[in-house]
Amino acid sequence: MANVTFVTGDGIGPEIAEATRRCIDATGADINWDIVEAGTDVMERLGTPLPDETLASIKKNGIAIKAPITTPVGTGFRSINVHLRQTLDLYACLRPCKSYKGVRSRYSDIDLVVVRENTEDLYAGIEYEKGKDDTNEIIDWINRHTTRKITKDSGVSIKPISVTATQRIVRFAFDYARKLGRKKVTSVHKANIMKFSDGLWLDVSRQVAKEYSDIEFEDRIVDNMCMQLIQKPELYDVLVLPNLYGDILSDLCAGLVGGLGVAPGGNIGDKAAVFEATHGSAPKYKGQNKVNPTALILSGVMMLHHLGKTEQAEKLENAVAAVIAEGKDVTYDMKPDRDDPTAVGTSQMADAIIRKITG
C-alpha cells in the first residue's frame, strides 16, 4: 500500500479532488490517502493558506496529488504553488500534452511532453519594486558599471540561470525520454539575445546531450519554437525549457490538445513529487459540480506511473479516454455546444469513468 497526500485545494478543488480520488481508488491502486487542505478556504479558518500538517504530510509521504489553489492577490503570500515548489525543491514540472479522441481541438495525434525548470529564471521571485531604496541601489550600480541605462522609475526582476539547475533539468528530460521510450529532446532558449543566462542554458544542454547518445537532441529559439509548435507539432517530442518559457509554452501545448480542462501535470524533485492539473481554481464555478475533472484525473494517471503502478495507470487512462471518446457522460466544456443540457456534472463524469474501470 502506498501512502499519498491529497491536497484538496480551494475553488473547484475539493470537487475535482473527490472525483479524482474515487476514480483512482476504483483502479484498485491500494492507496492510503492522507487528505489535507491548502488555499483560501482553510485560510479563513486557520489564518494560513498552507497549514504545517499539509507540508509535513507531503514531506513524509514524498508523493502528493494537489487540486488547484487560488493565488491571493496583494496579500503578501506570493503563491502557495510557488512556495511548495521551492520548499520541496520540485525542480521539474512535467506536462504531457496528448490528443484524446473526442476532445475538440484543431489538432489530432499530438503527443508532446513539456519539461519546465521550476526553480530559477524570472520566476525565482527576486524582484525589486519601483522607488524602493534597494531598487535604487541596484539601478545606480548598473548605471555606474554598464553602458546600459535603467531609468529610476523602473521595477526590476532578476533572471538567474545556473549550471547546476540546468544540468539537473536537462538530465531529467533525457532520463524521462529514455524511460518512456521517447526519441528526441529539444532545448528551448533565447540564447541569441540573453547570452549569459539563456546562453549558459544552451551550452549546458549541449554538454548534457552528449551523455545521451541514444536520444536525438536539438535546440530551438523560443519565438521560433512557438511558431513551429503551431505549424508542425508532430516534429517535436520532449521539450525542455527554462521556467518562464516553460510556463508559457505549456499553456500553448495544452491549447493544442484541447485546453486546460484536459492538461495534467507533475512537479517533481529528488525527494518529493506533487501532481496537479494545469488549470487553476476557477472560483466562479466553485461548488456547482460543473467543471471537468479530467486534468486532475490524468494527473492521477501520472502519479500512478510515478508509483510504478503501471497497470492501474493504464486502466484509468483508458477509462478516461473511453468516456471522452463516447462524448455522452462529459462536462459542459467537452460538449460541442457548451449549453448542451445533456452535459453531466463533475461527479457524474467520475461515475462514468468508474463504470468503465470496473466493467
Looking at the annotation, which residues are catalytic?
A: 123, 190, 223, 247
Query: For residues 222 and 164, what is the distance between their CA atoms, to the nearest angstrom?
Result: 22
Footprint of ligand NAD (CB under 6 A): 68-71, 81, 260-261, 276, 279-282, 284, 291-292, 295, 333
Instruction: Decide whether 37 or 276 has the Cβ nearer to ligand NAD.
Output: 276
Residues found in the chain: 359
CA dist., res. 113 & res. 176, Å (int): 10
Smallest distance from ligand NAD to CB 279, Å: 3
Least distance to ligand NAD from the beta carbon of 20, Å? 11
In the three-class reduction of DSSP (H, G, I as helix; E, B as strand; rest coil), residue 77 is classed as coil
Q: Report DSSP state, residue 99.
A: -
Output the smallest distance, CB 285 to ligand NAD, in A.
6
Nearer to ligand NAD, 233 or 293 (CB): 293
Listed residue (88, 87, 11, 76) closest to 48, CA to CA: 76
Residue 232 Cβ vs ligand NAD, minimum distance, rounded to whole Å: 27
Q: Compare residues 298 and 357 and give the one whose CB is closer to ligand NAD.
A: 298
Q: What's phi and psi for 304, nearest 5 deg? A: -65, -40
Backbone angles phi, psi at 111, to 5 degrees: -150, 80
Residue type, 327: G
- Three-class DSSP category at 115: strand
Between 253 and 282, whose beta carbon lies closer to ligand NAD?
282
C-beta nearest to ligand NAD: residue: 280
Neighbours of 94 (CB within 10 A): 24
Tell me the C-alpha distance between 111 and 237, whole Å: 7
Shortest distance (Å) from residue 292 CB to ligand NAD: 3
Taking the least distance from each CB to ligand NAD, the nearer of 11 and 177 is: 11
d(C-alpha 123, C-alpha 118), whole Å: 8
109 to each of 237, 276, 289, 315, 326, how far by Cα in Å?
12, 23, 30, 20, 18
CA-CA distances (angstroms) from residue 135 to 121, 125, 151, 156, 160?
19, 14, 11, 7, 17
We find the least distance from the C-beta atom of residue 276 to ligand NAD, in angstroms, to be 5
Residue 305: all three cell numbers together? 506511473
* Nearer to ligand NAD among residue 72 and residue 199 (C-beta): 72
